[in-house]
A = this chain, B = another copy of it.
Amino acid sequence: MSEKYVYKFNEGNAGMKALLGGKGANLAEMVNKGLPVPPGFIITTEVCLKYLEDPKIVDRIWDDVKAAVAGLEKETGKKFNDKDNPLLLSVRSGAPVSMPGMMETILNLGLNDDTLEGLATKSGDRRFALDSYRRFIQMCSSVVDDVDSDKFEHVLTAARKKLGVSFDNEITAEELKNVVAEYKKIYKEATGSEFASDPWVHLRKAIEAVFKSWNIPRAVTYRKINKIADDLGTAVNVQVMAFGNLGDDCGTGVCFTRDPSDGTNELYGEFLINAQGEDVVAGIRTPLKIAKLKEVMPDIYKELYDKTEQLEKSYKEMQDIEFTIEKGKLYILQTRTGKRTAAAAVRIATEMESEGLIDKKTAVGRVSPVQVEQLLHPQVDKNAPKDVVAVGLPASPGAGVGQLIFDATEAEEWTKEGKKVVLARPETCPDDIHGLFAAEAVITSRGGMTSHAAVVARGMGKPAVCGCEEMVIDLAANTLTARGRTFKKGDFVTIDGTSGTILAGEAPLVKATFGDDFKKILVWADEFAKQEVWANADTPEDAARAIEFGAKGIGLCRTEHMFMESGRLPVVQELIVADTLEERKAALDKLKVMQKEDFVGIFKAMKGYPVIIRLLDPPLHEFLPKENSLESEIAELEKKGQGQAKEALYKKKTLDKVRLLHESNPMLGFRGCRLGVVYPEISEMQMYAILEAASELVSKGVKVRPEIMIPLVGTKTEMKFFREMADRIAGDVAKKTGVKLDYLLIGTMIEVPRAALVADELAEYAQFFSFGTNDLTQTAFGYSRDDAEGKFLFNYLEKGFFKENPFSELDRDGVGALMKIAVEKGRGVNKDISIGICGEHGGDPSSVAFCCSIGMNYVSCSPFRIPVARVAAAHAALGVLK
């Protein structure tokens, strides 16, 4: 701990936020810049931390505090605890990171029965003095001694009633005298002691109260939500009071140097004449627009305008400024970086760059990935009233409004009639895909963040609320019931996928913004980012969208979704039900033709950017009908006497296969490359389809860069097997077509821990790695995501066992450690190996920053998250995001 505990404002500067807190450092900076700031001093954050270990530290610093108060006395000519010309102080918290309203403040400190008289005389306003005194007693009692604030309010209410007035400022001086007396009684009843008369006692208690307020629950919670470290502590700012309520030549206000809602470059804010800051907040009087100040106090407005300009230029950032006018003199009480909407952030950043105030890097750093996310989806207007129907998982962000529909086909029909619909299902399956396409949003009562509905909705960029278990969907009755209310087909609802909320009726939405300023930010972001952003895209439409959003490649093209399409599923089922290699090959021949078409479409859309195609991954049973539906279909046929008909026999064979393929833990079962090891003909078909499609396009002059990715590899032997297969097929296709392709032929997902641990062995055969962090998180933790999120993960999050859901934000200590091992081992064998990520974390800002920090070449995410990832990658490169 340094030896200096107390800093006068002129001893600090803007760079000392860690020690002096944000507020204190800014006050110091303003004093240094000659701005009109009421004098004061700062007790450092170090003292706070020390205090929280051992409160005795206050004894050690007390002489310094006294000396600093003496300094204020000298500067103002007033004296602390002086009945003629009393010095009054404010005591405020100020953490290194802004935590507005979270910690304690005490105003008017220095008042007692004696100094009250001095204030009354000096201000010439006894009522003001008494009102200040009663405010001080109220604030001090509740903050320092935890006396219930309501008790004081009751006294005020009684006083108003007695006088027959509506507002506190109408209570007379005489009555306020009684109020003060009542307040003191309340204090004594609550604490057992007299309210202290010595202002030094109050000052000490106030300082300690600010220190303690670092750990009050709302502050702790705020830090947790905003990921602020617990070991920063707060500084204490002790400042001479400036009064905006000493008459009509007084006032108080708040202003922003630019409009925080849309970024317009003009002074924006509100003020009140003859008022204290509290009055603005209390909402008793309606504040005036700042432009009005020009009319009322033109000189003051001019001074304020100049000072705010000076502050913005000095900080090179939009400022949020509090000011008070005391008897015709302007005081700046606080300046800080102004909060703003996403749209304003983009406009301010690009305009400040044009104005030459900041450079491009700074401009990019000023737009957070979270703000980018907000810009991309329409959102429910925060200011509108909300009628909550139910809350589920925030499965896909954004907002949508539509009429409730419980059937996918009906959803499609209603849409054709020009209606907007929200599809509500217990859960969705591939058969519902046309309904998902048609709907504005989707809600399900079952399933987690990786359920079919959630994954498809995210892929399509549609809002979705999934696993909303408090909602009961009755498909027979076409109703949705939750919290005692029932909604019918056709009722309007609003889906807020960002928060996981279902609202009744048509809530107003705020539209997505994707203007020129935003495009500028994204282009700049790409200039600074060290990693490319690729997309996860399975269809030509997805691929086109990915390009539009700025993707530099496809990091994951899942082939199973192609298998699921309605025209193909029967062929896939033939393949699976087949008993012999010949039967399988017949089905595969049919599939190959279709797969080639898919690939041709995607390759064309990607205009020569790399396209990583992952071979079939899911367990085969996912392509077959459910056991019980087959059983009842067979029973039906038996009943009709058609038990031996061809159809029935095929269904029976399918049922046998469904039972054979049943798994206790399908996530850890017969899937991924294991399918291709047991049935190499499936992988061979896919490789031929990819390379033939690519070669045919190249021979027509289309640029194509196909890459083959093997899922779920865990051993060198698997990787070797597929490398040899790929080499052989590539040679074969090259011979047949005469086309030489430019590509990294084959790579592997790293999605089981063992793959990371033997990455050096895999790198002998793999030309690229792509981290599948969804599965890697599942296997590293031993969590099945759907089960974990339904059963215990939210309990863990509530208990603080995790700061973040590891499926949303990459777990750096565990999963990240495996990734580091894999990168080191892989690069050790092949220093040029291309490494990326294609798990959902690829679109999460913190995870992107981690991926950048371990030296990945690219991150791949769903098309709709590409702008988020582009900005995150830039922030990581710029050190804004770590």
Contacts and interface: CB of A to CB of B under 8 A. Distances in A.
A782 B814 contact: no
Given A712-B782, A779-B779, A787 B718 contact: no
B791 A753 contact: no
Contact of A717 (B666, B780, B800): B800
A784 B757 CA distance: 19
Interface stretch (A278-286, A542-550, A595-603, A670-678): A670-678
Contacts of A811: 754
Contacts of A661: 791
Contacts of A665: 665-668, 784, 786-787
A674 B779 contact: no
Contacts of A754: 780-782, 811, 813-815
A712 to B, nearest CB: 6
- Number of contact residues on A: which range applies? 35 or more
A664 interface: yes
Residue among A668, A712, A814 with the most chain B CB within 10 A?
A: A668
A775 B796 CA distance: 22
A817 interface: yes
Contacts of A799: 677, 717, 721
A780 B802 contact: no
B757 A663 contact: no
Given A665-B784, A677-B799, A779-B782, 5 more contacts: A669-B787, A712-B782, A714-B814, A754-B813, A779-B780
Number of copies: 2
Nearest to A715: B801
B668 A818 contact: no
Contacts of A670: 787-788, 791-792
Nearest to A813: B758
A752 B800 CA distance: 21
A751 interface: yes
Interface string A710-731: 0010110110010000000000
Given A665-B666, A779-B780, A674 B792 contact: yes
A791 B666 CA distance: 11
A753 B717 CA distance: 22
Interface in A677-719: 677-678, 712, 714-715, 717-718
Contacts of A268: none
Contacts of A566: none
A499 interface: no
A664 B786 CA distance: 8
A437 interface: no
A714 B788 CA distance: 13
3 A-B pairs with least C-beta separation: A665-B784, A752-B782, A754-B814
Nearest to A665: B784
B788 A669 contact: yes
B757 A788 contact: no
A276 interface: no
Interface in A763-805: 775, 778-784, 786-788, 791-792, 795-796, 799-802
Given A778-B668, A779-B782, A787-B665, A795 B678 contact: yes
Interface in A110-141: none
